[in-house]
A and B are shown apart, each in its own frame.
Chain A
Amino acid sequence: ELKVEQNPLFLSMQEGKNYTIYCNYSTTSDRLYWYRQDPGKSLESLFVLLSNGAVKQEGRLMASLDTKARLSTLHITAAVHDLSATYFCGGGGADGLTFGKGTHLIIQP
């Protein structure tokens, strides 16, 4: 059974700073996903990471995958308030997508 652990679960940071969210998973996963969720909204797909060493970037967000370490990271560069949201990582297994608890990110001016 795939287990996904994210940390930190809560992060408050200032605009302009950099930070990284970590996603560890317990067993082999077909691929690793990152989603964003705004309060009261659904999940928005950010990245799909397919293989070891994969790196994807979109604006101030960059995601990477290390399958040997069973670790994915979501790096935020020069954070801006609009990036405040909850970020989920999820991995594939027999039981559909298994998600981490989410990282609640608040970016303060």
Chain B
Amino acid sequence: KAGVTQTPRYLIKTRGQQVTLSCSPISGHRSVSWYQQTPGQGLQFLFEYFSETQRNKGNFPGRFSGRQFSNSRSEMNVSTLELGDSALYLCASSLAAGVGYEQFFGPGTRLTVL
């Protein structure tokens, strides 16, 4: 069974630009969560999608948004990039919504903002 896939794996952008990251969950998984990992703040929850609906959102500004498609694939978008957005963005999928279901993480997208 294929794992969670994320594209692209690496990305370099400049301040003010916007970026879209993609996540394909494990087949059969309907929930996708996004996390940001930085050396200073550690792992922080961004949002969770289930059945194309945002179920939860972490404490991030509105520049961070996401969506989920009918095939459970998810994208997250960051607009007006700032230097502090440089991070590893991890996507995790689970069978259903809520942390009661084990989350399986993808390899991540490393975003560098110059």
Query: Residues of A at under 8 Å CB distance from B?
Result: 30-31, 33, 35, 41-45, 48, 88, 90-102
Contact = CB atoms under 8 A, between A and B. Distances in A.
B102 A98 contact: no
B45 A97 contact: yes
Nearest to B3: A42
Contacts of A88: 43
B25 interface: no
Contact of A96 (B45, B104, B105): B45
Contact of B102 (A42, A45, A96): A45
Contact of A31 (B42, B58, B100, B105): B100
A43 B100 contact: no
For the complex, would chain A's binding face be called helix, strand, loop or mixed by DSSP majority? strand
Query: Lowest 9 CB-CB distances: which A-B pairs, in order?
Result: A92-B99, A96-B45, A99-B43, A43-B105, A42-B105, A42-B107, A101-B42, A30-B100, A42-B108
Contacts, number: 57
Given A33-B102, A88-B43, 11 more contacts: A30-B99, A30-B100, A35-B105, A42-B105, A42-B108, A92-B99, A96-B33, A96-B56, A97-B33, A97-B103, A101-B42
Main secondary structure on B side of the interface with A: strand
Contacts of A95: 45, 56, 58-59
Contacts of B59: 95
Given A95-B56, A96-B58, A99-B43, A41 B102 contact: no
A101 B45 CA distance: 13
A92 B56 CA distance: 12
15 contacts: A33-B102, A33-B103, A35-B105, A41-B107, A42-B106, A42-B107, A43-B92, A45-B104, A93-B99, A96-B48, A96-B58, A97-B33, A97-B43, A97-B92, A101-B42
A95 B50 CA distance: 14
B100 to A, nearest CB: 5
A71 to B, nearest CB: 18
B21 interface: no
